[in-house]
Structure 1
Amino acid sequence: MFSVQPQSCSSCNVNCVRSLNHQPVCVQLQCIRKQRLKFHLLPAKWSGPITRSHIDRHYRIHSNVSLSVGTGAVPVEHDKANVNTPCAFLQLSINAFDYNCHVDLIKLLRQEGKLHRLRKARQKMSELFPLTEEIWLDWLKDEIRLTEDESDREKVYELFERAVKDYVCPEIWLEYVQYSIGGMGAQGGIERVRSIFERALTAVGLHMTKGASIWEAYREFEIVILSTVQPPPGSAPSQEQQELLNAQLERIHTLFRRQLAVPLMDMEGTYAEYSDWADDGVPEMVTRQYRRALQQLEKGKPFEEALLVSEPPKLAEYQAYIDFEMKEGDPARVQIIFERALAENCLVPDLWIKYTTYLDRQLKIKDLVLSAHERAVRNCPWTMGLWKSYLLALERHGADHQTVTDVFEKALNAGFIQATDYVEIWQSFLDYLRRRVDFSKEWSRELDELRAAFARSLDYLKQDVEERFSESGDLSCTIMQIWARIEALHCKNMQKARELWDSIMTKGNAKHANMWLEYYNLERSYGDASHCRKALHRAVQCTSDYPEHVCDVLLNFERVEGSLEDWDAAVQKTETKINRVNEQRARVAEKEALQARQEEEKAEHRRKAKADKKGQKKSQKVNRTGDKRKADDEYEEEWGEDAGIDEELFNTATEELMETESGLFGRRAPPRKTEPPGFRKNQRASSEAPQQPQDVSKEQRIDENCVFVSNLAFNLDDPEGKLRALFQGCGTVQQVRPVFSMNGVFRGYCYVQFEDRLAVPEALKLDRKEVDGRPMYVSPCVDKNKNPDFKVFKYKTAMEKHKIFISGLPYTCTKETLEDLCKQHGTVKAIRLVTNRSGKPKGLAYVEYENEAQASQAVLKMDGSMLENFTLSVAISNPPSRKMEDKGVPSRLLGAAMPRQPQGARGKGRTQISLLPRSLYRQSTPDAKAENGTVSAPHTTETDGVHGGPGTTSPDTQSKSLSNEDFARMLLKK
């Protein structure tokens, strides 16, 4: 072995790079897991560190692909047409758990005819994964062709035994029995064939569609044996030959009777064949069993037909079939339908849990139960519940200690997705070890093993689990609490129990009253009064969540146990604690009240600023030439901000319009009643005064019987009639009030008022319903002037482990297409495609599953998959937290653009670049007006930051100089 000096690893920055068989590798466990550097990357005499460039260069040379940056062990997906054998071997050396790469390698080696390497590749894959029916059949057929002598046949028999353990497959059993018939000439060969046939009938003989093939093969075999024991024609059989002949005939009769009692497809042909074969006709008992089986067949045919026409994996159809068989109550038929379902849905943990639970509670057959549990954890190793039930099943059926320990060690390496999963699997194993201990003995090896396991579990959670998940998963120290109680109750070792509780309290649990009370109860049951008193005094000192309760417990304890001095000390300590707590609560309440007042003042300031800005905007809009309205203003307006125009504001705007001068050309003529684009006659008919804004009073808007409808199309035809018909199913509609502009154009929102408030929740359910190609927004009717921060968001913004978030979807993806894709991994409860305001998809979706396990399975299987040449990104739903933005006066940030220029009488210019030097720029104030109260002339410049320009500056401002206090007040107003 070539020796290399330790070098610094580029992945973990630890001096741990060594040479293993001339292969520089990092022996740190975390680095091996990440990169799996088990292939020759560098020259034998290389003494430097392994870098990303070495891996990429070697990978490109051999496979024309590169590793994805940042993953360390996941190769970029490549075209299967370019996959070759060295590339596949290299990829597996990086990630041995790449299932598809194993399949590709086996196909390549089979095409190349490299049988020895092919056998090793299959063996390696079978150790890591259960193999499918197709892979097993190809392997078995290849090995059968290579069989030369009896020793080779025994190896094939062993391979068949492994194959039938993964899944229940009729085709594999049929191949097995046919192969065994070829060895019937060996010693004991006929009995071996019959034994394999009986096992096949037990496994798949009840398969309604494919079980008949095993029965027919078994009968044909026995008929061949019958021909060998019959005497030659014309000769009389001896007594021994007659006994053999009668026994063989009885075997065939028995097979016919057994098959006709089982509901199988095309069993009418079997009954006719038996009628022809039997000399004395079909017995009455067999006929009754046959008719009963026909009735069962008719009950099961609808489910079989549903399986026949549905697409894989047919989970819903199998679930319905399983429920039917469980109601029927035949354990053998329940078992076969479970096995059929698992053969096509092997990666569904809930199905395995349901099957193993049924076996544990109903059949309780050791070999059958343990085999199912073992296959369950091989197929879904990431599911902690399956490992937990496996450990219980091993203990329940008396498995030896080493077997249970080995299974537990495999569970620790299974790669659970949550820290709490490791805590639960440790608890299950510790429970098993505790049940092995005989506590009547003062010392035993099992007790030492239990204590060592407790200590190891704490180290494992602190090191391995915290390193991976940034948390131990056991915040309340449940494992340490159980250990302390065992030491106190069974071992009478209160000293050790107190040490454990001291450690528990130092892990951030001292502020919780329930933890101190748990410790106090332990001392009360197995300790003494002095330690109880000490624990309660510490609890009063440290508890912050429920101090009153702890104080009551201390006082009640002293009433029963303490002296007068103890009582006085307890009263003094509790009073001091309560007074301190009350002071803290008062300070917190005062602080919260101050914050509330400040927020109220800010909200009031924002409302005033918004009202001033709104009035200023209306004044500018009235004085603009033409009647064209900006479309972006309509989109930005919300129903609580500019939904209705007050009568007073409208009158003021009208007076200003009458007094506005247009500079050189005198007074502006009143606008013509021209119809804007998109205006329809029915809009004029629905509004009594199309040239005037509707008077939507606050009393009408703040109505608990009313909902606000927005995001409607501006050119919606007859909005009042359409919305009345749409909301009629929610309750009696009293009034529909669409809002129109001054020019009679529908503004895209309205109010719907019901006679009964109970109709409002039903109306809110129509939120996001599509109306003329756009999603209609339905929200409660709330006055935003009084509730400026009110927002309606109907979806959760925290992590939802049963829901997944999918991005990268093609824009043409429909809800049905996505449901077909997602239901392969579990039961889909709801799907939400995210769209913009116009109803166009954004390539995002949320999919809700029935439970967390199904969502986790969907993330594992769908992340990185392709849909219509789009790569999907799938993760557990965890939207980023929404930070509330301060809507007050915006502050200038470093590197931000210049403040927005105020608009003049001509509106927004084509160029928005400020040509004024920053030193001369002055921020506009919303209160600045021309002296005469009118808008400045068009030729007046706006570079001074006020609408009136230099010509409208107040004479007081011109004549009076400003002091430092004036400048300070100006800055504070900003």
Structure 2
Amino acid sequence: MDETLAPAPKPTEIPAYSTAVAASEEKEENAKNADETMHDVEDDSNASSSGSDDDSDGSDSEDEAQQNLQLQTLQSQLSANPYDYDAHVQYIKLLRRMGDIEKLRKAREAMSDLFPLSPSMWQEWTKDEASLNTGSDAFSAIVKLYERGVFDYLSVSLWCDYLNFVQEFDPTIRERSAAGISKARDLFERALTAAGLHISEGSKIWEAYREYEQTILLTIDETDIQAKEKQVERVRSLFHRQLSIPHSNMSSTLAAYKAWEVEQRNIDAESYDIAATYPHVSSAYQKALEMYNARVHHEEQISSQDISESERLTCYMNYLKFEQSSGTPPRVQVLYERAVTDLPISPALWLDYTRYLDKTLKVGTVVSNVYSRATKNCSWVGQLWSRYLLSLERGHASEKDIAAVFEKSMQCTFSTLDEYLDLFLTRVDGLRRRMASSREEDKLDYKIIRETFQRAADYLSLHLKNTDAFLRLHAYWALLERTLGKDISAARGVWESFLKICGSMLEAWKNYIALEIELGNLNEARSIYKRCYTKRFPGTGSEDICNSWLRFEREFGTLEDFDHAFQKVTPRLEELQLFRVQQESKSTEEKEVHPKRNAHDKRKMGSDITDEQSPAKRRRDALRNPKKAPEESKVQVEKFSQETKVEQVDEKVKESDNITEQSTLEKNREFSDQCTAFISNLPFTATEQHIRKFFSDIGGVVAVRVLHDKYTGKSRGLAYVDFSDDDHLAAAVAMNKRNLLGKRLSIARSNPNRGRKESSAYGPDRSGQALKESDEASQGTVKEAKSAPTRKLGGDNFQLKGKNTFAAPRNVRALGWSANKPKTEEGDETPKSNEEFRKMFVKKD
């Protein structure tokens, strides 16, 4: 597998980003207070006496050494994990305190490449740059910073800073030239489009815009009556526009407008009636006031400081539903922007936002820009990346841009393999549509599709082996090789490569045969039947493929072909029928011997490992129970009797492996699990350090044991965590359903007595307990977390073989079990007579 396809390791990306973003504003405020306190202390120290200069120099040296040590520590952290959000924030603060401008710029750029910066961080950055230099080159650079800042999140305060900056430092705007005035008005209109409908803070931009226009009015010469009247009408229009929009300062805005009109008209304020002069303005104002009153309670809920993030998200969702039912798309979009600014790492919010834009706008740079920000905030959500690719395709983006987004998505870590598969298929879908397009600029080389399929197969083969999803991928691949690639040999190669990995899947053989029949290659289809009719498939698959071959020869073959197929298939069907009879007989005997065993008991005794016996097992059963088999089985019993000797050697080896495994598992009984939490649905990439950090808030962790597969060494998604006392254990169990690395954990108290008592099919080991506890603890999360590919264990006539059976329960014999028959007691060596047996059961008088 190509190593470049593997997701970039980001062990702390999601939790670090989630917690740090939520606390960043508070930390920034605390840092500012600390800086102010430090400056006050320094001023007091300088004013106290000049005799403390030596002490001050020593203290400065110590502070500098401590800062350098802290700087090196943060650099090491970021080098080891570039996605540590909190480390980025602390690193920037330290560099800003030390005054290292060049390193500070590089640190900010590095963080901005990985994460969107908060509005306060953008304000700090722009103010720092503005204080250093205000030349023409510096002005353009600062304007670009403001543009990047207002793109990341909706912030009225950042927009106001931006507007004030250009009015102060842009020469054309400051001098109020025609070009400068036009430039300023365009920027104000952009700000109104972005935040003018912000109910609680949008009025700040309206007021800034009116002040700018009124300043221009004051500069117009009194003799230029036409220009003055035109400017008055412009200011009046701004008042009218603002009064028609619901916002928190509507009454003060109306009072300001009335005072302005009185001043312009030079009339008595008490006698002036706006409704009489501008009835449409009064009507619009009343309507806007009603709209504001209908939204007041929603505004109070989302602005409350006493609610959790989940409650705030619920309040936003309710507000959005109300706005969608009664508002306009621009108003809804502004509310979405406010929500993602307050809750930037909520996948549900970004998914809902992008879904709304896809439905209402469908195309345009607005939608693609929102997707760009969504994937930057929630990079671990594969669905956002897939929909991002579709959005770019709807907007007729270039192949270069789409390929860049796809490659970027491949470097992210997702919680389920289905998300990776969906990304690959979305990419292939787009390439296929582009190749099928009639536009000349959309023409592509088919090898891009082939390379994408190959990457997907290499990447997913180890994880999706023998799954329907992996089969659909190859079926799609073979179809495109035949239709778009026009290469039949390549289509055959797709199926051949798949069968080498997943040869036990009946549907794969059927699809391969259907391909050859559709192409009219009957001889090739016949050869495939000859290869697979003797294979063992789940359920009735073995009979199905035999009957399918006979149907094929009836429909397409000659009489000789049909006779040949019949001669090949008939013995195989008889063998399968014999096996069915034996299985039914065995099942009947088990029901008679154990009539009270329910389905749950059968499952615990390992009945779901397999229903179909191996050939050696069938032969031994036939030898031991010749009366139970039909007459035709006698020939097979004689035929297989010689081969059984060879098979017995394999059985002894397997028994030896079981005893060895039992010895290893027995050692684990030293763990009493009296104060232990059992964790299931654990991300496969999670380590002991991740689990310890997850429980760091409650503390008390004594030991962590992550269960690994004995053959592959990979994590099984299960773990035990020992705690120092029951209070810490109870706190750990209370953390059930919380996320770790993007997956929702299932946490329950471990019960070793239950696991050992009820896991007779697993033996006295921790594996049986883990499987049972995982089955109980993860019932609520199976539907949510699909990170591991599901695979049916057992099933009808399907036996798992090889090393990839670590997830299947096993019948492990206890230590001391011997393959030899138990020796009889000395007193039992002589058989008892009928008279002795009668005396044992008949009561004596």
Q: TM-score, normalized by length of structure 1?
A: 0.54
Q: Deviations over 1:228-256 (max 9, x none)?
A: 1142xxxxx2xxx3332122112111111
Residue 97 in 1 paired to residue 75 in 2?
A: no
Find the partner of 2:548 among 553, 572, 595: 553
Find the partner of 2:307 among 303, 308, 311: 311
Q: What does residue 514 of structure 1 align with? A: 507
Deviation at 1:361, TM superposition (A): 1.6
Q: What does residue 145 of structure 2 align with? A: 159
Q: Deviations over 1:288-327 (max 9, x none)?
A: 1111111111111110111232435311111111111122
Alignment of 1:180-191 (within 5 A): 180-182=166-168, 183=170, 184-185=173-174, 188-191=179-182
SS at match of 1:159: helix
Distance in 1 between residues matched to 2:94 and 2:513, nearest whole Å = 68
Q: What does residue 406 of structure 2 align with? A: 408
Higher strand share: 1
1:391 counterpart letter in structure 2: L
Q: Which has the higher contact order (CA 8 A, sep 6+)?
A: 2
Contact 1:489 1:526 in 2 (8 A): no
Q: What does residue 428 of structure 1 align with? A: 426
Contact 2:77 2:87 in 1 (8 A): yes
- Provide closer, same or farther for how the CA distance between residues 448 and 295 of structure 1 changes in structure 2, counting only shifts above 3 A: same
Contact 1:420 1:473 in 2 (8 A): no
SS at match of 1:542: coil
Deviation at 1:591, TM superposition (A): 5.4
Q: What does residue 321 of structure 2 align with? A: 323
Q: Deviations over 1:488-512 (max 9, x none)?
A: 234443222122112222212x333
- Provide closer, same or farther for how the CA distance between residues 185 and 124 of structure 1 changes in structure 2, counting only shifts above 3 A: same
Deviation at 1:270, TM superposition (A): 1.1
1:307 counterpart letter in structure 2: I
Residue 270 in 1 paired to residue 241 in 2?
A: no
SS at match of 2:732: strand
Give the greater-gyration-radius structure (CA): 1
Q: What does residue 184 of structure 2 align with? A: 193
Find the partner of 1:210 among 201, 220, 232: 201
Q: What does residue 343 of structure 1 align with? A: 341
Residue 843 in 1 paired to residue 731 in 2?
A: yes
Alignment of 1:52-201 (within 5 A): 84-182=70-168, 183=170, 184-185=173-174, 188-201=179-192
Q: Deviations over 1:627-686 (max 9, x none)?
A: xxxxxxxxxxxxxxxxxxxxxxxxxxxxxxxxxxxxxxxxxxxxxxxxxxxxxxxxxxxx
Q: What does residue 717 of structure 1 align with? A: none
Q: What does residue 491 of structure 2 align with? A: 497
Residue 582 in 1 paired to residue 577 in 2?
A: yes
1:217 counterpart letter in structure 2: A
Q: Deviations over 1:925-954 (max 9, x none)?
A: xxxxxxxxxxxxxxxxxxxxxxxxxxxxxx
Deviation at 1:453, TM superposition (A): 2.9
Alignment of 1:880-891 (within 5 A): 885=757
Deviation at 1:484, TM superposition (A): 0.6
Deviation at 1:365, TM superposition (A): 4.7
2:331 counterpart letter in structure 1: R
Distance in 2 between residues matched to 1:529 and 1:198, nearest whole Å = 70
Distance in 1 between residues matched to 2:298 and 2:88, nearest whole Å = 35
Distance in 1 between residues matched to 2:489 and 2:69, nearest whole Å = 65
Deviation at 1:413, TM superposition (A): 0.7
Find the partner of 1:255 among 203, 219, 238: 238
Contact 1:430 1:453 in 2 (8 A): yes
Distance in 1 between residues matched to 2:165 and 2:466, nearest whole Å = 54
Contact 1:859 1:876 in 2 (8 A): no
Q: What does residue 477 of structure 2 align with? A: 483
Structure 1: where are the runs of 5+ without partners? 1-26, 37-79, 232-236, 604-794, 813-833, 850-854, 864-873, 894-962, 970-974
Q: Deviations over 1:116-161 (max 9, x none)?
A: 3222221221111100122111112222222332221111111100
Q: What does residue 860 of structure 1 align with? A: 741
2:511 counterpart letter in structure 1: E
2:450 counterpart letter in structure 1: R
- Provide closer, same or farther for how the CA distance between residues 295 and 539 of structure 1 changes in structure 2, counting only shifts above 3 A: farther
Contact 2:481 2:491 in 1 (8 A): yes
Residue 530 in 1 paired to residue 523 in 2?
A: yes
Contact 2:363 2:394 in 1 (8 A): no
Deviation at 1:565, TM superposition (A): 2.7
Higher helix share: 2
1:206 counterpart letter in structure 2: L
Distance in 2 between residues matched to 1:518 and 1:202, nearest whole Å = 55
Alignment of 1:922-937 (within 5 A): none
Q: What does residue 399 of structure 1 align with? A: 397
Distance in 2 between residues matched to 1:347 and 1:170, nearest whole Å = 20
Deviation at 1:379, TM superposition (A): 0.7
Deviation at 1:570, TM superposition (A): 3.6
Distance in 2 between residues matched to 1:261 and 1:431, nearest whole Å = 47
Deviation at 1:390, TM superposition (A): 0.8
Q: Comparing 484-493 with 349-358, which one deviates more in the overlay?
A: 484-493
2:124 counterpart letter in structure 1: D
- Provide closer, same or farther for how the CA distance between residues 485 and 365 of structure 1 changes in structure 2, counting only shifts above 3 A: closer
Find the partner of 2:292 among 289, 297, 317: 297
Distance in 1 between residues matched to 2:697 and 2:126, nearest whole Å = 42
Contact 2:733 2:747 in 1 (8 A): no
Deviation at 1:841, TM superposition (A): 6.5
SS at match of 2:307: coil
- Provide closer, same or farther for how the CA distance between residues 319 and 230 of structure 1 changes in structure 2, counting only shifts above 3 A: same
Alignment of 1:398-797 (within 5 A): 398-438=396-436, 445-461=444-460, 466=462, 476-508=470-502, 510-545=503-538, 546-589=541-584
Q: Deviations over 1:704-749 (max 9, x none)?
A: xxxxxxxxxxxxxxxxxxxxxxxxxxxxxxxxxxxxxxxxxxxxxx
- Provide closer, same or farther for how the CA distance between residues 848 and 886 of structure 1 changes in structure 2, counting only shifts above 3 A: closer
Contact 2:414 2:420 in 1 (8 A): yes
2:281 counterpart letter in structure 1: V
Q: Deviations over 1:765-785 (max 9, x none)?
A: xxxxxxxxxxxxxxxxxxxxx
1:250 counterpart letter in structure 2: E
Q: What does residue 73 of structure 1 align with? A: none
Deviation at 1:588, TM superposition (A): 4.1
Distance in 1 between residues matched to 2:352 and 2:487, nearest whole Å = 42
- Provide closer, same or farther for how the CA distance between residues 473 and 843 of structure 1 changes in structure 2, counting only shifts above 3 A: farther
Q: What does residue 790 of structure 1 align with? A: none
- Provide closer, same or farther for how the CA distance between residues 444 and 527 of structure 1 changes in structure 2, counting only shifts above 3 A: farther
Distance in 1 between residues matched to 2:79 and 2:220, nearest whole Å = 58
Q: Comparing 496-505 with 195-204, which one deviates more in the overlay?
A: 496-505
Deviation at 1:386, TM superposition (A): 0.8
SS at match of 1:446: coil
Distance in 2 between residues matched to 1:555 and 1:449, nearest whole Å = 40
Distance in 2 between residues matched to 1:154 and 1:839, nearest whole Å = 59
- Provide closer, same or farther for how the CA distance between residues 363 and 436 of structure 1 changes in structure 2, counting only shifts above 3 A: closer
Contact 1:488 1:526 in 2 (8 A): no
Q: What does residue 613 of structure 2 align with? A: none
- Provide closer, same or farther for how the CA distance between residues 886 and 111 of structure 1 changes in structure 2, counting only shifts above 3 A: closer
Deviation at 1:352, TM superposition (A): 0.9
- Provide closer, same or farther for how the CA distance between residues 841 and 439 of structure 1 changes in structure 2, counting only shifts above 3 A: closer
Deviation at 1:566, TM superposition (A): 3.0
SS at match of 1:173: helix
Structure 2: where are the runs of 5+ without partners? 13-65, 266-271, 599-676, 684-689, 701-721, 766-823, 831-845
Q: What does residue 359 of structure 1 align with? A: 357
SS at match of 1:476: helix
1:566 counterpart letter in structure 2: D
Q: What does residue 966 of structure 1 align with? A: 827
